[in-house]
Amino acid sequence: MAAPSSPASPLFLREAEIRRGIELMHFGYGRLLGAIDERLAAEGLGRAHHRALYFIARQPDLTVSALLTLLGITKQSLGRVITELSTRGLIETRTGRDDRRQRLLRLTNAGQALESALFEMLRARLSAAYVDAGPAAVAGFWLVLEGLVPAAERPMLAKLRS
């Protein structure tokens, strides 16, 4: 297990420590997603498309309104993403069973293949970082990230875990 470049200060709420956390999140997130940007670009897609594919893969028959809540984007933006993914044959939409107004989203075989390939690229990077940090650090990292999510939205996280 690699030790951090410098341990967290017991005064972790000072400006310098908060700034360090912001910088690490910025660069870490950028490098993590940078792993898939080239593949997305080759497909003519962006990160919004990836996020939609990811959550649809996690919850087949996800409603459009539930995806809208998960992504926290405008209805218009999501509409563009869904239209493009449908046109490319990566997702399919169906009418809801109980409520005919609902649109249920599911990945096609091509969508599953793309999402799986993107996930494997992310898993390789994140797994390497997890191994270097160790289980206690990973658990702490998850707690910090969960703490950034407003309490009212945390049930959404629990649902994803189940």
Question: pLDDT tens-digit profile of 35-58?
Answer: 899 999 999 999 999 999 999 999
CATH at residue 149: 1.10.10.10
Transcribe 103-139 into DSSP letters: EEEEE-HHHHHHHHHHHHHHHHHHHHHHHHH-HHHHH
Give pLDDT tens digits for 107-125: 999 999 999 999 999 999 9
Domain hosting 78: range is: 15-161
Number of separate domains in the chain: 1
Report yes or no on 5 lying in a domain: no
Report yes or no on 9 lying in a domain: no
Report yes or no on 2 lying in a domain: no
Report yes or no on 3 lying in a domain: no
Report yes or no on 6 lying in a domain: no
**Tokens encoding 19:** 């700034």
What is the Cα–Cα distance from 70 to 34, expressed in whole angstroms? 22
Report yes or no on 103 lying in a domain: yes
More confident site: 25 or 101: 25
Report yes or no on 95 lying in a domain: yes
* Bridge partners (DSSP) listed for residue 105: 62, 93
The per-residue pLDDT for 35 is 86
